[in-house]
Amino acid sequence: MNKYHQISLSVNGKNIQREVPARLMLADFLRQDLSLTGTHLGCEHGVCGACTVLLDGDAVRSCLMFAVQADGREITTIEGLTPNEGLSSLQKSFCDHHALQCGFCTPGMIVTAEAFLQRGGKIDEASAREAISGNLCRCTGYQPIVAAIVVESKRRTTTAEAGDAR
């Protein structure tokens, strides 16, 4: 018998309450119950990173978490990282660098990269490569993906420094 649980969580800034089966995965909950289909499912066993979302700001694989484990937590999906009026600066950097081919891995890449950029610290080609090492791009387009992340990191640093100098 499938046991149901009441959960209450924040998804992309909205409070959500639902009754969900105990074994419903978070990725399926986001895609099927909330129609947030930007979270992709590739391997469904924690290898490819296509299903990455932010859980209280940390990048996690939503195919490895039950929806009930997100009770009381804050989830951000690729939709939540995309401004209403267009693309985020990181998304624009991906476009500028042609950092997507089929695009299937792209939402997970962007979510992982955003968590990496927000953590701060030293960002260069090597650390960007390591940050996305858990996200597979089957088209092997890693070079432009890394370039897009590093350039966006430099842009953010320059913007922050210009703000400090004011």
Residue ranges in contact with ligand FES by CB under 6 A: 41-44, 46-51, 61, 63, 100-106, 137-139, 141
CB of 166 to ligand FES, least distance (A): 39
For residues 142 and 156, which CB has a smaller minimum distance to ligand FES in the complex?
142
- The 3-state DSSP class for residue 30 equals helix
For residues 51 and 78, which CB has a smaller minimum distance to ligand FES in the complex?
51
For residues 87 and 156, which CB has a smaller minimum distance to ligand FES in the complex?
87
Q: 62, exposed or middle or buried, with CB in 10 Å at 0-12, 13-18, 19+?
A: buried
Strand pairing report for 52-55 and 4-11: unpaired
**Residues 11, 13: Cα–Cα separation, whole Å:** 5
Closest CA to 56 of 115, 113, 137, 16: 115
CB of 23 to ligand FES, least distance (A): 16
For residues 127 and 142, which CB has a smaller minimum distance to ligand FES in the complex?
142
- The 3-state DSSP class for residue 89 equals helix
CB of 44 to ligand FES, least distance (A): 5
Amino acid at 130: E
Helix axes 142-165, 106-119, angle to 10 degrees: 40
CB of 150 to ligand FES, least distance (A): 18
